[in-house]
């Protein structure tokens, strides 16, 4: 069984890792992941007893609270932390000023100065001590769990108490004061990222105006059903995906596509949930319920995106679990071994060991890496590209080959009958047969009236349909189908899709179906080239001549045509030999190709549910131009993560070495640790900038 528990009060990446580990130690819990950014815990458990234990652990973990999923968002308050820091700072400064004015030679002056610093230490350090104590109790519960014991709270407490033990009272107060300031700034940075996601959540409309026979009524969008008639007033958010029934207007689609221009709509046009009506009021009919709407998919994907961690995130989590116990052991060695060879000068080496311990705290890495990926996912969402997890950003950043389905991806996928050759019977036979098909081409005939009914219909994958109409064997499909059945069908070069119709082995005629290229397809592909994608290919079941005619003018390197559904994955495997492969498609038949590709994207608005489910990214507004922005954002995310890892480790190693030679006092070590963490977090916040 799986369950997502919404929480509040989890503001630290290391704490999230500790909570997840503690939950996984419960018998009956096979998987647990605590998400400190989205404030949720994902559980996989086997029994109600295991779930109850998990709930108990979560509710007693530091200051974490379990909240109802429908509860209003509680504004984050840092009053307690600010008061503690303020009180500590006042007494710390008082002790510093007093010592400067009166010195420490007189016993009364020394005692009073120490009192100021001890009060400063207690004001800032009481919560550190409480958390370290709680973690120590949990670490020895049901076995020994060193990563729960050896966290940053214990590191700072050891450093501060050690400083007091060797008579460095000012440094003891400085350690916990600077640590608290760093924790507050970290919490504010994470809160800022949460605010960005909350802003994204505002895409959801709170209400909808439904038109009934009795007039108008205001309802929750989740109460709407397919076919309901809605009134979309000026300034209203479109509550669900619907089709314009009456009126004309202009929609702000920025929340879906990232573009600021207005999209004009009229009767018959589809409008997606999350858009804002900036023009005249209009009436629209619900196409699909809220749970299946574009905005619901966006919010679900963004909320769940942090569940799939990228390799650097997984590395940092594992690294911290091993790294922290190792540096504690090294600190003990530094404190105890060198003095044995230097006249037992323990005070000197204990001080250096404490410096080493403080500097070694891995906060900068633990916080900045997941925060960068989370910000990257948010940056993509602003551009209308929904990532199903941080792991896919790394894959997207490495893309060298991009392959596309033709119909519905590079073309609009809105088929209409353009020309009929052979008379009305040809059109009606084609319509009767295609009504038995789930192929996108069949949509061209959905409004065509026919006097015939197809029976015993058999869909021949990649070729067409065989059926019986009034006792006659009718074939409707490609020229390839006709040739395989021994029927001559001359293929003409045209950018329209040609459907041939034969009766009892005789060709009756053909129907041409029009499907235009997307207006921005050429610019979108050119932008991908600029982002370092070396090869652009199309995989299509269409004939090569028609595919080339339709795709003429696009900057493509390869067109692989006449492909049956089972042949597309083989072509994808071949393309992967040239580099990391991105595949973009929209239909059910694209899902096998998505499965073999390194990374995949589905057209969100018009794409099938199967394609959206199989893909790693979803283009919410069916805007191909957002692909290049997604690749750019993925590369930027990866670059910032690498910068943070290299910078944090390099600075910490340098500071550790300096501390061993006594060049860094304890307060400076804490300042260095907090400074590195803040610089890494600020660097990660660059992902919040507009692409």
Residue 606: the pLDDT is 55
Residue 522 lies in a domain: no
3-state secondary structure of 509: strand
CATH number for position 432: 3.40.1110.10
Neighbouring C-alpha atoms within 13 Å toward the C-beta of 35: 23
Q: How many CB atoms lie within 10 A of CB 144?
A: 9
| Residue 232 in tokens | 């979309």
Among 12, 42, 66, the domain-final residue is 66
- Is residue 589 assigned to a domain? no
Structural element, H or E, at residue 670: helix 666-684
Q: Across the chain, what does the average pLDDT equal?
A: 81
Most confident of 75-79, 139-143, 261-265, 664-668: 261-265
Task: Look at residue 374 in the predicted model and tell me its pLDDT.
Answer: 75
pTM (2 decimals)? 0.63
Task: Name 76's Cβ contacts closer than 8 Å, sequence gap at least 6.
Answer: 187, 191, 194
Instruction: Please determine, for residue 229, whether its predicted confidence score (pLDDT) is greater than 60.
Output: yes
Q: Give catalytic residue positions.
A: 405
pLDDT score, position 70: 47
Token readout for 75 is 């504004």
- Number of structural domains (the chain) is 3
**pLDDT tens digits, residue range 616-648?**
888 877 788 889 999 999 999 889 988 888 888
CATH classification of the domain holding 45: 3.30.70.100
The pLDDT score that the predictor gives to residue 211 is: 93
Among 461, 491, 514, give the residue marking a domain's end: 514
Residue 354: other Cβ atoms inside 10 A: 30
The whole domain housing 280 covers 208-296
Where residue 291 sits, what CATH number does that domain have? 2.70.150.10
Q: Where among 239, 268, 296 does a domain terminate?
A: 296
In a domain, 605, yes or no: no
319 pLDDT band, cuts 50/70/90, is low
For residue 411, pLDDT beyond 80: yes
In a domain, 36, yes or no: yes
pLDDT in tens, 82-109: 898 899 999 988 888 888 877 767 777 7
When mean pLDDT is compared across 155-169, 315-329, 541-555, the lowest value belongs to 315-329
Q: Which residue has the higher pLDDT, 439 or 423?
A: 423
pLDDT above 70 (res 667): no
- On whether residue 604 sits in a domain, the answer given is no
Give the strands of the sheet with 208-212, arranged side by side: 215-219, 208-212, 229-232, 282-286, 242-246, 270-271
Task: Answer yes or no: are the C-beta atoms of 603 and 611 closer than 8 Å.
Answer: yes
Asked if residue 566 belongs to a domain, the reply is no
Residue 463 lies in a domain: yes
Who's near 422: CB < 8 A, 6+ residues apart? 501, 508, 509, 510
- Per the domain annotation, does 379 fall within a domain? no
The Cα 592–Cα 595 span in angstroms is 5
Q: Of 148, 163, 155, 92, give the one whose Cα is nearest residue 129.
A: 155
Q: Distance between CA 549 and CA 540 in Å, rounded?
A: 13
Pairing mode, strands 599-603 and 617-619: parallel
| Mean pLDDT calculated for residue range 297-324 | 60
**Which pLDDT score is estimated for 198?**
56
How sure is the predictor about 683, in pLDDT bands with cuts at 50, 70 and 90?
Answer: confident
- Percent of the chain exceeding pLDDT 90 equals 20
């Amino acid at each position: 069984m799986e369950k997502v528990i919404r929480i509040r009060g989890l503001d630290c990446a290391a704490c999230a890792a500790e909570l997840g580990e503690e939950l996984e130690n419960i018998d009956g819990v096979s998987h647990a992941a605590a998400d400190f950014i989205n404030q949720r815990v994902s559980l996989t458990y086997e029994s109600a007893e295991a779930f109850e234990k998990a709930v108990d652990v979560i509710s007693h973990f530091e200051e974490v609270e379990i909240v109802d999923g429908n509860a209003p968002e509680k504004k984050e308050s840092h009053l307690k932390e600010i008061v503690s820091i303020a009180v500590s700072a006042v007494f710390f400064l008082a002790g510093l000023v007093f010592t400067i004015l009166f010195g420490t030679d007189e016993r009364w002056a020394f005692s009073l100065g120490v009192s100021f610093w001890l009060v400063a230490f207690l004001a800032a350090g009481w919560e550190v001590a409480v958390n370290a104590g709680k973690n120590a109790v949990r670490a020895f519960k049901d076995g020994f769990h060193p990563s729960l014991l050896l966290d940053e709270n214990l590191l700072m407490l050891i450093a501060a108490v050690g400083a007091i033990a060797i008579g460095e009272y000012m440094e003891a107060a400085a350690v916990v004061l600077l640590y608290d300031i760093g924790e507050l700034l970290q919490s504010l940075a994470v809160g800022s990222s949460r605010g960005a996601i909350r802003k994204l959540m505002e895409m959801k409309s709170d209400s909808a105006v439904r038109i009934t026979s009795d007039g108008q009524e205001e309802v929750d969008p989740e109460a709407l059903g397919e076919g309901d008639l809605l009134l979309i007033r000026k300034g209203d958010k479109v509550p669900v995906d619907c089709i314009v029934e009456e009126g004309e207007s202009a929609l702000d689609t920025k929340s879906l596509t990232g573009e600021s221009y207005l999209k004009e709509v009229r009767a018959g046009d589809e409008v997606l949930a999350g858009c804002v009506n900036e023009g005249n009021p209009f009436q629209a009919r619900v196409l699909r319920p809220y749970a299946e709407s574009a905005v619901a998919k966006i919010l679900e994907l963004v909320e769940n995106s942090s569940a799939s961690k990228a390799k650097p995130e997984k590395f940092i989590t594992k690294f911290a679990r091993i790294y922290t116990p190792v540096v504690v052991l090294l600190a003990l060695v530094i404190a105890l071994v060198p003095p044995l060879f230097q006249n037992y000068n323990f005070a000197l080496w204990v001080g250096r060991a404490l410096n080493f311990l403080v500097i070694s705290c891995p906060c900068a890495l633990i916080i900045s890496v997941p925060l960068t990926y989370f910000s990257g996912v948010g940056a993509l969402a602003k551009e209308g590209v929904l990532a199903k997890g941080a792991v896919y950003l790394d894959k997207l950043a490495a893309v060298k080959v991009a392959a596309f389905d033709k119909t519905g991806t590079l073309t609009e996928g809105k088929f209409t009958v353009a020309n009929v050759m052979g008379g009305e019977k040809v059109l009606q036979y084609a319509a009767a047969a295609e009504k038995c098909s789930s192929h996108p081409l069949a949509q061209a005939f959905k409004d065509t009236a026919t006097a015939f009914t197809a029976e015993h219909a058999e869909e021949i994958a990649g070729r067409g349909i065989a059926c019986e109409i009034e006792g006659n064997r009718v074939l409707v499909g490609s020229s390839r189908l006709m040739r395989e059945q021994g029927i001559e069908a001359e293929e003409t070069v045209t950018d329209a899709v040609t459907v041939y119709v034969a009766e009892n082995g005789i060709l009756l005629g053909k129907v041409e179906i029009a499907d235009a290229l997307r207006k921005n397809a050429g610019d979108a592909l050119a932008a991908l080239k600029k982002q370092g994608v070396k090869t652009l290919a199309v995989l299509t079941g269409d004939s090569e001549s028609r595919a080339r005619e339709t795709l003429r003018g696009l900057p493509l390197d390869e067109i692989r045509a006449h492909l049956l559904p089972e042949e597309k994955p083989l072509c994808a495997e071949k393309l992967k030999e040239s580099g990391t492969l991105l595949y973009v498609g929209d239909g059910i038949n694209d899902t096998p190709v998505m499965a073999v590709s390194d990374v995949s994207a589905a057209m969100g608005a018009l794409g099938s549910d199967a394609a959206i489910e199989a893909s790693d990214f979803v283009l919410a507004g069916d805007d191909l131009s957002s692909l290049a922005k997604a690749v750019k954002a993925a590369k930027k995310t990866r670059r910032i993560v690498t910068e943070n890892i290299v910078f944090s480790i390099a600075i910490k190693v340098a500071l550790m070495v300096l501390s061993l030679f006594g060049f860094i006092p304890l307060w400076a070590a804490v300042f260095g640790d907090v400074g590195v963490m803040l610089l890494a977090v600020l660097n990660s916040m660059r992902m919040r900038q507009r692409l």
